Chain A
Amino acid sequence: MKIVLQNLTKRYPNRNKKIKEDVIAVNNFNFEIPDGKLIGLLGPSGCGKSTTLNMICGLEKPSDGKIFFGDDDVTDLPPENRGVGMVFQSYALYPHLTVLQNIMFPMENLKGKDKMTKEAMRARAEEAARMVQIDQLLERKPSELSGGQQQRVAIARALVKVPRVLLLDEPLSNLDARLRLQTREEIKRIQRETGVTTVFVTHDQEEAMSISDLIVVMEAGVVQQIAKPQIVYEDPINLFVAKFLGTPPINVFEGEVRGGIVYIGEDAGIKAEPDSSWKDGAPDAAPGVALQDGPVTIGIRPEGFDPEKDGELRCGLTAVEVMGRDTSIVATNAHAANGSIRTIVSTEELAEVSGETVNFRIKPARIYLFDHETGTRVRCTFKPLH
């Protein structure tokens, strides 16, 4: 079942009654979620992702805009008539009921011609339990289960009515790191097996990157970018998306464009050419426009630095951190946004690093240019000067 969001907007009256202006939680969200896909709504707290989920679910009414499931307009339908299954962040498992009773609860609400016999309900509940691999825990109470098991019960309860759409609110945030890895694979598997269109909300980029078919990055109620996980990382549409995704985060520099060359400070220059080959239909992009001279914001991913003696970016060496598989070099540079940069390098390259200073050669493919004022991406291809 595809989900269509049309100009979806949610406004709340301002809590501070002196301010007449409404708070806009979600601003003009347009998106068609393809059938059978797993969509991650990603963004910092308060960006409107949970509000969007609640509107899809029907727990909140949109101030404007429409929601379609397939061709049905569900905007004014209450949640129970939409055919949605929802997994809450707290799981909301009824603590006084056993796992089986919890899973059967939604079916017991059915009335009229949908009414099921006790045996049919039990069979369906057991089937759902098998799907999430908790069929040996049916007689337990939720308090006797681990966080991961509770999560599965919640998913089974959401799936048991065979919803058209499955919604998950921060599904992994209450789990410890190890369980999180395991459970997110599990969610992906269950989603694939059932083929139900699934939307989940998260503030954790890794979570979104690892299992989503598509990521929707939101900020302050506005959708920033909708794309496949790898695209969001490799081809961010603006500075916010570039900064929000990636650990360690992207290194941001204040630079300048002079005659088609991007400078970080005086000595580090990289030749930049506007990218005319790029034709993806993002609305804010301005492909093929010649680079104007002036200040510019430069983002370089941590893996975009090669330590080299005659590298163009000269930095002071702060520390070399080896953390398992990764080795980071922390260095200072006067033009970096907060004075220091963090890079990830391979262990072989470390031989080059010693003493007080370190120089980097910047990999052209890892450089992103953003408008100094708006943070919009300025698309260029880069070539080293030397």
Chain B
Amino acid sequence: MDKNNSKAWLYLLPAMIFLGVFMIYPLFDVMIYSVEEGYNSASQTYFGIGPYNYNYVLRDPYFLQALKNTFILVVITVPLSTGIALLISVGLNSIVKLRDFFQTVFFLPYVTNTLAVGLVFMILFKKTPYSDGFANLLITAVGGTAVDFIDGPYWAKMFVMCFYTVWVVLPFKILILTSALASVNPDYYKAARVDGTSRLRIFTRITLPMISPMIFYLVITGFIGAFKAYSDVVAIFGTDLNAAGMNTIVGYVYDMLYGDSGGYPSFAAAAALILFAIVLTITCINLLISKKNTHYA
């Protein structure tokens, strides 16, 4: 028994070393940083230990702006993208012809480079001396007034941000949901047909509960992913996110570490831990809600 145990630990060792060095140690390090007041990374000195860093971050208007941006992004994009992905998956599942073709089309954004996609969105939305961008062409064509989506009003920028996020996360969700739909035993649908069940009722009473574990999975990962948004924002609005008023929490953490006004690992660590607490809370709430509404076969 003892011998077997030590063997097991031996087999686990490589993974544990890597996890320890790159995950567990930094995690604790971040916790320590976040309570060290006035930490200086050059001299490796600090004044004392206390909640000052958290106090500062929570009062920093840039952080509050980032927090607001992130929350709006999460609240809008997670339900929207999951809903749209569900619609598209159900549609894909019900066609036979060209299904593979459409699946490929919908999956393309997933394999496209974030920055390249960001560039495409710039072309779609950015105002330049030469053009107002494709979106504005459409707006003026139907008689509206052009809006500057990249440097203009907050809601316009937020719209681009949400639009982009939804579009980027769709492929993965569609992939998961189409395979979930395909794995539902066709006998259920046959039985429902024999009983004269309407299509809507089949969808709400059979299909949805059957794929609810996958929907739940997508909602949780969607929340976490949206809370961690950063590179997408940079791709569209550039690196000076605070100036654009479009910073996110992860962006704030990055700025605090390496940005032009950076060099404050303690503030960064505090912000990161606040994000961690938020994500943890939301996930726990998700788990509680889904326990009642998710059906594992």
Residues on A close to B: CB < 8 A? 57-59, 78-81, 84-86, 88-90, 92, 94-96, 105-106, 109-110, 143, 157, 161
Q: Of B193, B210, B212, B295, which one neighbours A80 at CB under 8 angstroms?
A: B193
Residue pair B193, A161 in contact (C-beta under 8 Å) = no
Cβ of A92 and Cβ of B196 under 8 Å apart?
Answer: no
Q: Is the CB of B188 within 8 A of A94?
A: yes
Which residues of chain A have C-beta atoms less than 8 A from B191's C-beta?
Answer: 86, 88, 92, 157
Residues from chain B with Cβ under 8 Å of A94 in the complex: 188, 205-206, 209
CB distance from B115 to the nearest CB of A (A): 43
As a 0/1 sequence over residues 53 to 75 of chain B, the CB contacts with chain A under 8 angstroms (1 = contact) are 00000000000000000000000
What would 4 more interface pairs be, CB under 8 Å, given A96-B209, A109-B196? A78-B193, A80-B193, A80-B196, A94-B206
Q: Which residues of B lie under 8 Å from residue A90 when comparing CB positions?
A: 185, 187
By beta carbon, the residue of chain A nearest B293 is A96
The residue in chain A whose Cβ has the minimal distance to the Cβ of B202 is A109
Chain B residues with CB below 8 A from A78, complex form: 193
Cβ contact within 8 Å between B190 and A59:
yes
Give the Cβ gap from A197 to chain B, nearest Cβ, in Å: 16
Q: Is B194 an interface residue when CB atoms closer than 8 A count as contact? A: yes
A106, B206: Cα distance in complex, Å: 13
Question: B193 touching A105 by the CB < 8 A rule?
Answer: no
Q: A345 CB to closest chain B CB, in angstroms?
A: 45
Residues of B within 8 A of A161 (CB): 195
A161 vs B194: C-alpha distance when bound (angstroms): 11
- The verdict on A92 contacting B185 (CB below 8 Å), with A59-B190, A86-B191, A143-B297 known, is yes
Point out the residues of chain A lying under 8 angstroms from B196, CB to CB: 79-81, 106, 109-110
Which residues from 259 to 297 on chain B have a C-beta closer than 8 Å to any C-beta of chain A?
A: 295, 297
User: Quick check: A95 and B190 within 8 Å, CB to CB?
Assistant: no
Binding site for A on B (CB under 8 A): 185, 187-188, 190-198, 201, 205-206, 209-210, 212, 295, 297
Contact status of A88 and B195, CB under 8 A, knowing A95-B297, A96-B209, A143-B297: no
> Residue B193 contacts which of A59, A85, A96, A143 (CB distance < 8 angstroms)?
A59
A58 to B205, CA, bound (A): 22
B194, A80: Cβ atoms closer than 8 Å: yes
**How many angstroms between the C-alpha atoms of A58 and B194 in the bound complex?**
8
User: Which residues in A have their C-beta under 8 angstroms from that of B205?
Assistant: 94, 105
Shortest CB distance B56–A (Å): 49
Q: Cβ of B210 and Cβ of A92 under 8 Å apart?
A: no
**How close is A184's CB to chain B, nearest CB, in angstroms?**
21
Known: A95-B295, A96-B209, A161-B195. A109 touches B190 (CB 8 A): no
Given A96-B295, A109-B201, also A85-B194 (CB < 8 A): yes
Cα A95 to Cα B191 with chains together (Å): 13
Contact of A86 with B198 at beta-carbon distance under 8 Å, contacts A92-B185, A92-B187, A94-B188 already known: no
**Smallest CB separation, B216 vs chain A (Å):** 13
Contacting residues, chain B, for A95 (C-beta < 8 A): 210, 295, 297
- A selection of 9 A-B contacts at a CB cut-off of 8 Å is A78-B193, A79-B193, A79-B194, A80-B193, A80-B195, A94-B205, A95-B295, A96-B212, A105-B195
Closest residue of A by beta carbon distance from B191: A92
Flag if A92 contacts B295 (CB, 8 Å). Answer: no
Inter-subunit contact A109/B188 (CB<8 Å):
no
- The smallest beta-carbon distance between B266 and chain A, in angstroms, is 49
A231 to B161, CA, bound (A): 77
Distance in angstroms from A226 CB to nearest chain B CB is 26
A92 near B195 (CB under 8 angstroms)?
no
CA A88 – CA B195 in complex, angstroms? 13
Whether A57 lies near B194 (C-beta < 8 A) is yes
Residues of A within 8 A of B212 (CB): 96
B297, A92: Cβ atoms under 8 Å? no
A156 to chain B, nearest CB (A): 13
Chain A contacts for B209, CB-based, 8 A: 94, 96
Contact B194 A109, beta carbon cutoff 8 Å? no
Which of A81, A92, A95, A143 is the most central at the interface, judged by chain B CB atoms within 10 Å of its CB? Answer: A92
Rounded to whole angstroms, the CA-CA distance of A81 and B209 in the bound complex is 27
Of the listed residues B190, B197, B209, the one surrounded by the most CB atoms of chain A closer than 10 A to its CB is B190
Of the candidates B194, B206, B297, the one whose C-beta lies within 8 Å of that of A86 is B194
